[in-house]
């Protein structure tokens, strides 16, 4: 068995293979030299210094008897010969393959950027950002107000850094809806973060090869000792082009049982290859317009475990993926949690709390049916919504278990 990717999904897959009784050769491939680590704390506790690098290592990652190949990227896949080709020329044969390559931070498009313009996705990125702050950076511009951008703005402001958060849309965390966005906006301003909403970035000004300012499309100029670009992630799947797998939007298409689909219609599954984690485009996780990619911790963990189990079980005994999506984040004193797919709703209802006081439980409905819920400092109420979502997915055998989700 070969697992490509040594993040949470890959490690959970390796653990699951052993737990299910696989005693053969197990190889995990990672393009990082780091020991496996947990990503969610990176932009929060690790940047802020409340956790150390040792604290974010994935417990047990070294304990299931695998051969580890670190610091070597996968560069090709030959499904006919069942070989994974590595950058050092190695060809790894496999009987079963778990694809859990994860994603990379999206870089600033266009010309090379000056020194001091960073992205944050891995441990090395956090080290670089902390080095900037330790070296005297006091004006930091964060470009992008999604989850990573908001978390970084919160962590950096807590270190005494003056932070400006720039977002081309009209609200931070827009995917969670206007109510939550409004609560986050107010909290960020109370923390001293300057918000520039509804305006994009044109480029960067540099002196001596180092960034000194950010140019906005409206003509504004923001001084900057350091810039963090947080404009999303790209699946780490370019090496799979030409493999015959379906790669919509760069993600790996898989059926409801996490078997990778081939390119073209009807996209027959390859029962020797399963998919898990951020790079998955799964038929079992559907919004109003089709499959929805998930880049959440709980999804990576659950898919990694099931993908490995199904790989061993084979198609006849494989189980559909029926995990209810969930995630959490924390920023500016707010603890935000979500279940389901709130971004796929067409009606939003505040069902508890007072948003003006920084607390709310917001339910999202589509066609009168609950599809997701978000809590802000109201986490005790969320399990009931998770139970409702789980119950609605438990329908008769042979039907689409993910209908409407």
**Residue 62: band (very low, low, confident or very high) from pLDDT cuts 50, 70, 90:** confident
160 sits in the region (left: phi over 0; alpha: psi -120 to 50; else beta) called left
Above pLDDT 70, what percent of the chain? Answer: 97
- The mean of the pLDDT values for the chain is 94
Higher pLDDT, 367 or 395: 367
Q: Is the pLDDT score of 68 beyond 80? A: yes
Q: Is the pLDDT score of 353 beyond 60? A: yes
Look up residue 108 and give its DSSP letter. P
Q: Is the pLDDT score of 41 beyond 70? A: yes
Instruction: Give the per-residue SS3 of 109-148.
Output: CCCCCCECEECCCCHHHHHHHHHHHHCCCCEEEEECCCHH
pLDDT tens digits, one per residue of 109-119: 977 899 999 99
Residues 395 and 402: beta-carbon distance below 8 Å: no
Q: Is the pLDDT score of 335 beyond 50? A: yes
**Residue 393: band (very low, low, confident or very high) from pLDDT cuts 50, 70, 90:** low
pLDDT attached to residue 397: 29
Rounded Cα–Cα distance for residues 35 and 71 (Å): 10
Q: Which residues contact 284 (CB under 8 A, 6 or more apart)?
A: 255, 256, 257, 258, 320, 321, 322, 401, 402
pLDDT tens digits, one per residue of 152-197: 999 999 999 999 999 999 999 998 989 999 999 999 999 999 999 9
Bridge-based pairing of strands 369-376 and 360-366 is: antiparallel
pLDDT attached to residue 404: 30
Residues 23 and 70: beta-carbon distance below 8 Å: no
């Amino acid at each position: 068995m070969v697992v490509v990717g040594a993040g949470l999904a890959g490690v959970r897959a390796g653990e699951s293979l052993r737990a299910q009784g696989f005693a053969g050769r197990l190889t995990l491939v990672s393009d990082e030299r780091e020991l496996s680590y947990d990503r969610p704390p990176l932009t929060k506790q690790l940047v802020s210094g409340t956790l150390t690098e040792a604290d974010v290592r994935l417990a047990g990652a070294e304990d299931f008897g695998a051969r580890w190949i670190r610091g070597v990227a996968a560069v090709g896949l030959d499904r006919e010969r069942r070989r994974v080709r590595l950058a050092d020329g190695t060809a790894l044969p496999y009987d079963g393959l778990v694809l859990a390559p994860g994603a990379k931070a999206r870089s600033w498009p266009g010309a090379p950027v000056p020194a001091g313009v960073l992205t944050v996705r891995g441990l090395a990125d956090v080290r670089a950002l902390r080095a900037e702050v330790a070296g005297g950076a006091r004006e930091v511009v964060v470009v992008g107000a999604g989850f990573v951008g908001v978390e970084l703005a919160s962590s950096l402001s807590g270190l005494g850094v003056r932070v400006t958060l720039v977002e081309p849309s009209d609200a931070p965390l827009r995917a969670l809806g206007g109510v939550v966005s409004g609560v986050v906006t107010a909290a960020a301003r109370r923390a001293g973060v300057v918000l520039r909403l509804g305006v994009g970035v044109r480029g960067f000004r540099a002196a001596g090869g180092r960034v000194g300012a950010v140019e906005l499309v409206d003509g504004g100029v923001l001084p900057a000792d350091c810039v963090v670009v947080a404009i999303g992630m790209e699946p780490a799947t370019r090496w799979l082009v030409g493999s015959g797998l379906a790669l919509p939007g760069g993600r790996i298409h898989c059926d409801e049982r996490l078997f990778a689909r081939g390119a073209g219609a009807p996209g027959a599954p390859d029962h020797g290859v399963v998919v898990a984690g951020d790079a998955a485009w799964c038929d079992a996780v559907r919004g109003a317009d089709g499959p929805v990619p998930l880049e959440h911790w709980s999804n990576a963990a659950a898919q990694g475990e099931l993908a490995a189990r199904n790989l061993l079980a084979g198609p006849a005994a494989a189980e559909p993926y029926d995990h209810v999506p969930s995630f959490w984040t924390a920023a500016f004193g707010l603890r935000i949690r979500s279940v389901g797919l709130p971004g796929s709703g067409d009606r939003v209802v505040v069902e508890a709390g007072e948003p003006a006081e920084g607390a709310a439980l917001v339910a999202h409905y589509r066609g009168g049916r609950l599809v997701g819920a978000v809590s802000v400092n109201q986490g005790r109420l969320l399990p009931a919504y998770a139970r409702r979502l789980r119950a609605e997915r438990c329908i008769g055998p042979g039907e689409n278990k993910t209908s409407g989700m």
